[in-house]
Amino acid sequence: SSSDLKSVLAYLKKNKADTNIKYYGKAKGKNVFIIHLESFQQFLIDYKVKGKAVTPNLNKFYHNKSTLSFDNFYNQVAQGKTSDAEMMLENSLFGLPTGSAMTQYGTSNTFQAAPAILSQTEGYTTAAFHGDVASFWNRDNAYKSWGYNYFFYSSYYKEKSSYNIGYGLKDKIFFKDSVKYLEQLPQPFYAKLITLTNHYPYTLDKQNQSIDKTTTGDSTVDGYVQTAHYLDQAFAEFVTYLKKAGLYNNSMIVLYGDHYGISNNHRSAIAQLLGKKSVTNFDLAQFQKVPFMIHMKGLKGGINHTYGGEIDVLPTLLDLLGVKNDYIQFGNDLLSKDRNQTVAFRNGNFVSPTYTKIGSTVYNSKTGKVIENMTAAQKKTVKQMQNHVTTELSLSDRVIEGDLLRFYTPKGFKKVDKSKYSYKVSTS
Ligand code: GP9
Ligand code: MN
């Protein structure tokens, strides 16, 4: 209802962080690549197996002086997995406590998503690329609601049984065959490429295996570094294609991991991978970190330690692109100096630079130790943080479940007309 909308707007007004003038508008007019690294966790960065780097190319990218890298960036997905990540990345709205918001509301709701904003206000052409069928996670409908001009899915790619593994096209073939479409997009464009090979159960054909598996003895875990290594090579090849196509230097390249690859059910394997005797719930919360990197020629890079998550990506990118932001978004620019660094997990747990709360247990984020006897002041602070988390999650749910964006259209934005979009492969 419209009174719900009022509470949302009041909350956002109070919580909006300032922009950072050092970065605001620095990427104005650049092409944008969003590269979705499937199931890719932050611990893989600089990780080695028997002395060999698992992701040498991503490591180089991570440490590049023109890459802004974040080392306290968390995935915030729930059951909607990839689709929750996409919902947060492109709308700055949380996924739902259960199920997938993209599946349940992607067709019917009004959205003000990144593709629609950039095409309407900055003249961008927008395209999504993915080597699986169009209907997975209801992408074919949700992407229309989000205003994607193009969606290149499996039918747009050459089919051959050896090209596929797991859910679809192998990443190297996917990137290679995406270039011919990318080259034809009018610039500036916003292009999202969703990889696939580094997905559970982490199987890979023999000729693509070029690093040893880990040896935890947990068969669902040990292949993970192998498919991650393959994804790393695929990414490097893609960078080469972009350079050849003349698209590297005039683009902002954004990388992110969507969610964990190794679930909390594998405690003993996780402990072995991290070189620990055992892992606590605090360690497992830390294990939810995923990469977030922004690379652009001329960008002042470095490793940024701010605490944030997937909900914060869109406001960050819009500020870098210098786009006026009056939209209903629950995240905050990661480059802002005054942002709230409490990161909500979808179940109401949270991490922050000071306190981490898992269930009813509170940890000191610096030491990882349980805080046994909290002072009254500590209790008060933690309570405020919990309140913040609970409020943002429930208000975001109200926006999606009540389709509240249909009542709110910022100046300069027109409601997306889904009937204008079609992603069918022409058969003529
Ligand atoms: C399928 C892919 C996988 O198209 O994006 O989604 P996930 O299982 O990771 O949620
Ligand atoms: Mn995924």
As a whole number, mean pLDDT of residues 90-117 equals 98
pLDDT in tens, 305-362: 999 999 999 999 999 999 999 999 999 999 999 999 999 999 999 999 999 999 999 9
Closest CA to 38 of 290, 206, 242: 290
Confidence of residue 159 (pLDDT cuts 50, 70, 90): confident
**The pLDDT value given to residue 425:** 92
37: CA distance to ligand 1 center in Å?
11
Query: Ligand 1 test: best mutation among 130, 137, 346, most atoms within 8 Å of CB?
Result: 137
Residue 160 pLDDT: 87
Average pLDDT rounded to a whole number, residues 131-138: 98
pLDDT at 366: 98
Angle (nearest 5°) at CA 304 between 298 and 308: 120
* Percentage of the chain exceeding pLDDT 70: 100
Residue 130: closest CA among 86, 80, 76, 96 = 86
Name the residue with tokens 């747990």: 349
pLDDT at 67 exceeding the cut of 70: yes
Q: What is the ipTM of this complex?
A: 0.99
Helix, strand, coil percentages (3-state) for the chain, rounded to 5, are: 40, 15, 45
Mean pLDDT confidence for 386-410: 98
Question: pLDDT (tens digit, 9 = 90+) per residue, 210-235?
Answer: 999 999 999 999 999 999 999 999 99
Q: What is the pTM of this model?
A: 0.98
Catalytic residue among 19, 55, 82, 356: 82
Is 1 a residue whose pLDDT tops 80?
no
Which of 127-136, 157-166, 377-386 shows the lowest mean pLDDT across its residues? 157-166
354 is catalytic: no
pLDDT computed for residue 428 by the predictor = 59
DSSP sequence for 292-345: EEEE-TT---EEE---EEGGGHHHHHHHHTT----S--S---TT-SS---PEEP
Ligand 1 binding pocket mutation candidate from 165, 167, 256 (most atoms within 8 A of CB): 167
Tell me the CA end-to-end span of the chain in Å, nearest whole number. 46
Tokens of 148: 């994607």
